[in-house]
Structure 1
Amino acid sequence: MSAATDDRLSRTIDLMARLIAFDTESSKSNLPIVAFIEDYLRERGVAHVTVPNKAGDKAAVFATIGPMRDGGIVLSGHTDVVPVVGQSWTSDPFTVRRDGARFFGRGTCDMKGFDACCLAMVEEFQAADLKVPIHILLSYDEETTCLGPVDTIARFGADLPRPRAVIVGEPTQMQVADAHKSIATFITTVHGHEAHSSKPFLGANAIEGAAMLVTDLYRLADELAEEGDPSGRFEPAFSSLSVGTISGGTARNILAKSCTFLWEFRGLPGVAQNRALRRLEDYAASTVLPRLRRYAPDARIETVTEVEVPGLAAEPGSVAETLALKLTKSNRTIAVPYATEAGRFQTAGVPTVVCGPGSIDQAHQPDEFVEESELAACLGFLRALTLEVS
């Protein structure tokens, strides 16, 4: 390792520690970390814009190094992290702890390690004779809605340069992922009618209705497993759904007035994102509501869609895939089961892949960590990108 490379790695580790010191759980504002990033960019003369959300309590940062023109490459990361409450950490999750070649802390893997790599490379980007720009986009709310980059994406080709490719730095152990599943999350509430449990014909038990709906959703889950994954690339090899929580009722001898359950659907590329919702609504209309309304005409079922994150579909030979494979010196891509912001960019017509340091196996867990070798590999990837676009 050269002295320059070693210095860049040390800078990355220092920046990662400083980024992780900001508690940016998705329920909290990310403006303090945004201010830090803005100061960092400003001190180096990097052109950037801050794109706030409607509430004004969060923002994305879009930086441009090189000529202010279309056709550049976006390095996309997010600043938010998942909560640590209830997890058994062996050290402060917001203070980076080194143990050998591993760095522990919330966000080391997902994904402030990648963010730090990008920021640490700014001077090298500036020193190069870039023919097209390298952009750094650091967003918010990736862990909840993946809506953080949407307002910035909407400005591509308007008052911001339109890139030709996006590389999302989620943890893939620096392998190139060209596909991932979509995710949609829902809140379903069954409204029944309270009555004494000894006389069920006087009311409608919302828990019974919810149980019927959940049972049918898991029938759909079995059907999806039977359909499998035609591409043979995903693990698990099918679209999946899960009910995470269910609650309702007042007492065992009262027919439940209401019952609510939270559930999600993760669809393979090409599978309609609303497939499970359509199934629930059809079954509710044909079977569950008629049963509930035998004795309670006002019974109803409401479903609220919380989040819809599009999947990433493989685009063999795309600009993003070709570039990332060249930079990683690889000839194969992978598919990942988790959702990312990549689908947001692809939906907007920008070729996108996922490639970043660390393993998803360490993400969202207590004692989350990233290997030093992964950070070094990411820096090598970014250095190769610099040469490629110079």
Structure 2
Amino acid sequence: MSKPNMSRLHNAIDLLGKLVAFDTTSKNSNLGLIHFVRDYLADYGIESILIHDETGQKANLLATIGPKGVPGIALSGHTDVVPALETTWESPAFELTERDGKLYGRGAADMKGFSACALAMIPELVKRDLEIPFHLCLSYDEEVGCIGVGSMVDHLAAMDTPPRLAVIGEPTNMKVINGQKGKYSMRVGVTGTAGHSSFAPNHVNAIEYASRAINLIAEQAREFEENGPFDEDFTVPHSTMLTTTISGGTATNVTPEYCEFTFEIRHLPDHDAEAVIAGLQATIMDTLDAEMKAKADDTGFSFEKIFSYPGMGDCTDAEAFSYVSNIIPEISGKVSYGSEGGVFEKQGNIPSIICGPGSIRQAHKPNEFIEISQIEECLEFLDALTNQAIAA
């Protein structure tokens, strides 16, 4: 790969500063950033499609550079970031600051660095005689459950010639991730009956029944650990299941009337999480819920899905991957954290890899940073991908 020229590097850093300056914490609108990117692309004659959420306050952006009617490459990044508590930062979180070869700012690594690099390539892409197109895909609300990307993937999949491959630019230190776990998150409500604790046998204790359900979750987790299914390419080579939050009760002398807890399953790409959760629910309803209702009709369990996203399988044996196999950096395996790659693959039938600048260890932390050398390496990769698109 050839080294990126300095003007392109400076352009990428400048663009990253502009992107970081938009506070796109998931609770906020991302339209300021989206409109900035739309106008930037329009300056190069590139039309953008905006796909809004139902509130009209957030949007995905999809733009195609290059010929139509040919399957191309999707470059995917999310625009939202996790909250930044300014008092824990050494410099303003939404102002890009350079120190010792590092660029500090919320989203610098996760994952506005990749988006800035992709945008910095635009002046070059529009000048080249591309034989395949690039699809720039910027989504909203990835950090709260990959909520926004689905509508954009539907749009891509409905094209006459959908992308042959998606590159998800999450921070991987520019190593290729070829698989990720999916996630299914649930909220469980347990309603009992309240009363003076001295008459506890006459009441239905919501916390005690919740704890029995939580034990069933722990038993299922042990079953995964002991009997699989397994994929040794993951650091944790099996699906996991755990309770993540719990609250309940009102006073030390009152039988708890209500308890609520959340749990999640992080599952291997081909492990059917819905079937696991359906089986758990059936067991709880047939045993614990039935036992509660035998004591009081208006007691029992309720279940609510919080969010889910699918896992991403290994596409390194697919024809789509062979297109970039000669230019990709090192393949480093599979990860248990999530990205939008599973949505591209499962919902859009678009093979995907995860590869982007920066370290996931910097994500979601105070003083988040990306090394300038990672920006350089990402530009090298995108430049090589551009040359491949010309020679296609």
1:133 aligns with 2:133: yes
Aligned twin of 1:242:
242
Residue identity (%):
37
Aligned twin of 2:340:
341
Aligned twin of 2:38:
38
Quote how far apart the aligned CAs of 1:286 are.
3.3
Pair 161,19 (structure 1): closer, same or farther in 2 beyond 3 Å: farther
Structural mapping, 1:1-390, within 5 Å: 5-85=5-85, 88-156=88-156, 158=158, 161-228=161-228, 230-330=230-330, 332-347=331-346, 348-390=348-390
CA distance in 2, matches of 1:95, 1:122: 24
Deviation string, structure 1 residues 338-388 (Cα, Å, up to 9, x no partner): 111111111121111111111111111111111111111110010001000
CA distance in 1, matches of 2:324, 2:338: 19
| One-letter code aligned to 1:337 | S
CA distance in 1, matches of 2:57, 2:388: 37
CA distance in 1, matches of 2:225, 2:103: 38
Quote how far apart the aligned CAs of 1:329 are.
5.0
Pair 355,214 (structure 1): closer, same or farther in 2 beyond 3 Å: same
Pair 379,367 (structure 1): closer, same or farther in 2 beyond 3 Å: same
Q: Which moved more, 1:63-72 or 1:134-143?
A: 63-72
CA distance in 2, matches of 1:229, 1:94: 43
Q: How many residues of Structure 1 are paired with residues of Structure 2 in the alignment?
A: 389
**2:20 and 2:108 in contact (8 A); partners too:** yes
CA distance in 2, matches of 1:2, 1:266: 39
**1:319 and 1:351 in contact (8 A); partners too:** no
**TM-score, normalization by structure 2:** 0.94
Q: What runs of 5+ residues in structure 1 fail to find an aligned partner?
A: none
| One-letter code aligned to 1:342 | G
CA distance in 2, matches of 1:9, 1:211: 55
Q: Which moved more, 1:348-357 or 1:315-324?
A: 315-324
Q: What runs of 5+ residues in structure 2 fail to find an aligned partner?
A: none
CA distance in 1, matches of 2:248, 2:211: 11
**TM-score, normalization by structure 1:** 0.94
| One-letter code aligned to 2:194 | E
Quote how far apart the aligned CAs of 1:2 are.
8.7
Quote how far apart the aligned CAs of 1:159 are.
5.7
SS in 2 for 1:127: coil
Deviation string, structure 1 residues 92-136 (Cα, Å, up to 9, x no partner): 111112111211111011100000000000011111110111111
Pair 202,329 (structure 1): closer, same or farther in 2 beyond 3 Å: closer
| One-letter code aligned to 1:36 | F
**1:320 and 1:353 in contact (8 A); partners too:** no
Quote how far apart the aligned CAs of 1:320 are.
4.0
| One-letter code aligned to 2:344 | F
CA distance in 2, matches of 1:157, 1:342: 14
Quote how far apart the aligned CAs of 1:156 are.
2.6
CA distance in 1, matches of 2:328, 2:384: 9
CA distance in 1, matches of 2:357, 2:190: 44
SS in 1 for 2:136: strand
CA distance in 2, matches of 1:168, 1:321: 13
| One-letter code aligned to 2:110 | D
